[in-house]
Amino acid sequence: MTIIDDLLDGAVDLHCHSGPSPMPRRITHAEAAAQAADAGFRAIVVKCHYHDTVTDVLSMQPLLEGLPIQVFGGIALNSVNGGLNPWAVDRSLKMGGRMVWFPTISSRIHLEHSAHHAETQAHFQPLGMMQSAEVSVFDADGAVRPEVRQIVEQAKDEGALVSTGHLDGESALAVVRTAAEVGHDRLLVSHPNYVTDIDVARLEEMVALGAMVEHEVAMYHRDHIFPAEVLVDFIRRFGAENTVLGSDLGQVGNPLPVEGYRGLLPRLLELGVGEDEIALMIRTNPARLIGLDA
C-alpha cells in the first residue's frame, strides 16, 4: 500500500462525468463505480449537464450489485431540464437524488464563455443539439426568483447537496445567501476560477456563509488548465476544511477519474499539502456534504 492508496481509501468523488451522456464519455456509471471501488472509494456522484442521472443509476442497479461503493445521481437545472424547475427537483430527490446543480451550461457566464471559445462550444453542445437557453436566478427586476428558495428548501428537506453550478459570482452568492437564510448547510461552489470567474471577495463571503469550495482534479492534473500551485494557493487561502476535490473526469480525451486523483495527489504532497489536509478534501468534507455521515 502506498500513501496514495491509503488516502483514496474512503474517498468520495462528487463530480464524476461518466455516461450515458450526449457528451462523449470513456466509461459508464457502472464502470466508474467499479474502478472507484477498486481504489477504495466510498461513494461517487455521477453528473450530466443534460439529464437527471438518478434514473441512470437506478437502471444500472444490476451492474452495481455487490460493489462496495455507493453511487448517487442528481439533476442540473439547465434549460433542457426546465431550468429552475421545482417539479423536476422533487422527482429527482424523491427517487433518491442527492445533488442539485444550479445552472451549468445554461448560466449566463457559461453561455458568454462558449460564445468566445469554439472548443468549449463544441464540447458542451454535442450531437448538433440545440443551444442551451439562459437560466437566471434573478427576475426581470433583479430580485432572486422565488424558485431559488423553493429548490433550496426542497434540497434541505431531503438532505441533498446544492451546488452553484456554473453561475457567476453574483448569482452564486445569491444562491448561497438564500441557503443561509433557510438554514441549509450542504453547499458547494464549483471551480470558482474556471468559466464562473468568481472573485475572491464573493468567494470569501460564500465560505463565511457555510459553502465549501470544490476544485476539479481535471483542471490541475498535469497542469492541464492551471498549475497545481494555483490549487495550493486556494487551499492555503480558504483552508482544507472548506475545500473539496472532485474529479470532473470521465470525458473522452481525459484521464479516468481514479487516474486523475492518482496523478494529482502526489503533486499536492510535493507542494507541501499535508496528508491530513488531503483526507479532509477527498474524504471527510464530501462525505458530510452528501450525507454519508448524517
Residue 6 has pLDDT above 70, yes or no: yes
What would the pLDDT profile of 209-261 be if each residue is shown by its tens digit?
Answer: 999 999 999 999 988 899 999 999 999 999 999 999 999 999 999 999 999 99
Is residue 93 a part of any domain in this protein?
A: yes
Q: Which of residues 94 and 293 earns the better pLDDT score?
A: 94
Residue 117 has pLDDT above 70, yes or no: no
Is residue 148 a part of any domain in this protein?
A: yes
Q: How far is it, in rounded angstroms, from Cα 247 to Cα 117? A: 23
Is residue 198 a part of any domain in this protein?
A: yes
pLDDT of residue 285: 98
Q: How far is it, in rounded angstroms, from Cα 213 to Cα 206? A: 9
* Residues 44/245, Cβ–Cβ less than 8 Å: no
* Number of C-beta neighbours around residue 13 at 10 A: 30
Q: How far is it, in rounded angstroms, from Cα 32 to Cα 19? A: 9
Residue 120 has pLDDT above 60, yes or no: yes
Residue 76 has phi, psi (to 5 degrees) of -100, 130
- Percent of all residues in the chain with a pLDDT value above 90, rounded to a whole number: 91
Is residue 82 a part of any domain in this protein?
A: yes
pLDDT band at 294 (very low <50, low <70, confident <90, very high): low
pLDDT (average), residues 35-63: 98
pLDDT of residue 210: 98
Is residue 43 a part of any domain in this protein?
A: yes
| Locus of grid cell 434573478 | 138
What would the pLDDT profile of 121-166 be if each residue is shown by its tens digit?
Answer: 666 777 777 889 999 999 999 999 999 999 999 999 999 999 999 9
Q: Which of residues 254 and 120 earns the better pLDDT score?
A: 254
Is residue 294 a part of any domain in this protein?
A: no
pLDDT of residue 49: 96
Is residue 16 a part of any domain in this protein?
A: yes
Q: Is the peptide bond before 20 cis (omega within 30 degrees of 0)?
A: yes
| Locus of grid cell 456563509 | 209
- Long-range Cβ pairs for the range 117-120 (8 Å, 24+): 120/195
As a whole number, the mean pLDDT across the chain is 95
Is residue 272 a part of any domain in this protein?
A: yes
- Long-range Cβ pairs for the range 136-141 (8 Å, 24+): 136/108, 136/171, 137/84, 137/102, 137/103, 137/167, 137/171, 137/174, 137/175, 138/171, 138/174
* Ordered strands of the 161-163 beta sheet: 74-76, 99-101, 161-163, 187-190, 212-216, 243-246
pLDDT of residue 245: 98
Residues near 108 by Cβ (< 8 Å), separated by ≥ 6?
134, 136, 168, 171
What would the pLDDT profile of 61-105 be if each residue is shown by its tens digit?
Answer: 999 999 999 999 999 999 999 999 999 999 999 999 999 999 999
pLDDT of residue 128: 77
CATH number of residue 178's parent domain: 3.20.20.140
pLDDT of residue 131: 86
Residues near 183 by Cβ (< 8 Å), separated by ≥ 6?
156
Q: What is the pTM of this model?
A: 0.96
Parent domain of 154? 3-289
pLDDT of residue 115: 72
What's the structural domain count of the chain? 1
